[in-house]
Amino acid sequence: MARIPPKLSGLVKSGAVVATLPVHDLADFQSSATAGKARTLLGAQAQDLGYSSAVDPQMPAAHPVQSIAVDLIDPNPLAPRTVYTPEMIQARADDLRTQGQHDPIHVTPHPDRPGRFIICDGWTRVRACVVHGTFKTLRAEIHHDLTGVDSALFGYQQNEGRKQHCDLDRAMFFEKLKATGLSAVKISALTGVPENRLSMYKALASLPALVLQQIEKAPELFGYNAGAQLARICPAHADANDLGVVKAARIAEAFAAGDKTFKWLKAQVENYLVHKPRAVPSTGANFRYPQGFLRGRGDTVQLELRIDTPERQTRLLEELRSFLRERGIVEFTGTTVEQLPADVGGTEPGQA
């Protein structure tokens, strides 16, 4: 039986063969600027590992590459990725330990802190090294010609080409770009996302924190369509106690389990809207005191106070009666309701 030749992938993994691009163009292969950049980086990596490189030593790198301490690298204020789970960081740390650093990260000099850098691409690797102590330094390609928005867009394009963002990442990133003053038309042109879809991403990014907490448990399951559906039952600027927000959080929690379909999620939203509980309109302000509360509920005003002595209680009741009569808030018939004993009607002494 003929001997099976070794696989090329095994030779590369063992270090017997180092991957490089040819120095001279082949007849059927024309090198590009991108190929030249890859060739330079591969050559640098080969030399770092102690192997000789056939790459022309005179060919300059697209940008300078050097080792940078991970504690000198700051996050990008316009970072395209928002969700970083502990599992993601751990997995990247494990990859770095077993495989090493294949490609350099990309940074730009910090404009306000000399000697420090802002990440353009590779923040997961930086966090893996900081959190798990994988490496003290990382090889980084330094970009001196990028603005803040440019550096964020660079990272966005790198992530989309390597491992696409989840829609929550995209939604948050687009909102960051809007905050810089970019219009929807400009963002659409820069990212390739249609303008009408940007509004659906906005709905996802604008969901209350209570709902986003559930989405972040399994962000890859929630597309912009799911976010737009949940937004239908979350009123603008609603707090965590709003009935719609609570319902949306429960739907998101169930959907994050991974055994529900988008059709199910949409049906849950539709069912809630059809049978939406009627909220009691709130009027006026609510006040709480150590002795009780004063609040408005619908068309009623409630006052409940604990008064220690019968004398103070009687005086307060008289003053309230006079106030209501003088302001014309209520009409009195002149009759007085007989005061019940403390053990009748279940009312404790000292409450009014």
pLDDT tens profile 287-339: 888 888 888 777 788 888 888 888 888 888 888 888 877 777 776 555 555 45
Q: Where are the beta strands (DSSP E) in the chain?
A: 65-69, 73-74, 105-109, 117-121, 137-142, 287-289, 292-297, 300-305
Instruction: Determine the 3-state secondary structure of 11 from DSSP.
Output: helix
Lowest mean pLDDT among 63-77, 246-260, 314-328: 314-328
pLDDT greater than 70 at residue 161: yes
Report pLDDT for 48: 36
Distance (Å, rounded) from C-alpha 122 to C-alpha 74? 11
Instruction: Determine the 3-state secondary structure of 153 from DSSP.
Output: helix
When pLDDT is averaged across residues 180-199 and rounded to a whole number, the result is: 91
Higher pLDDT, 318 or 56: 318
For all residues of the chain together, what is the average pLDDT?
77
pLDDT greater than 70 at residue 274: yes
Report pLDDT for 172: 92
Distance (Å, rounded) from C-alpha 284 to C-alpha 298? 9
Report pLDDT for 123: 92
Lowest mean pLDDT among 38-52, 152-166, 225-239: 38-52
pLDDT greater than 50 at residue 37: no
pLDDT greater than 70 at residue 190: yes
Instruction: Determine the 3-state secondary structure of 303 from DSSP.
Output: strand
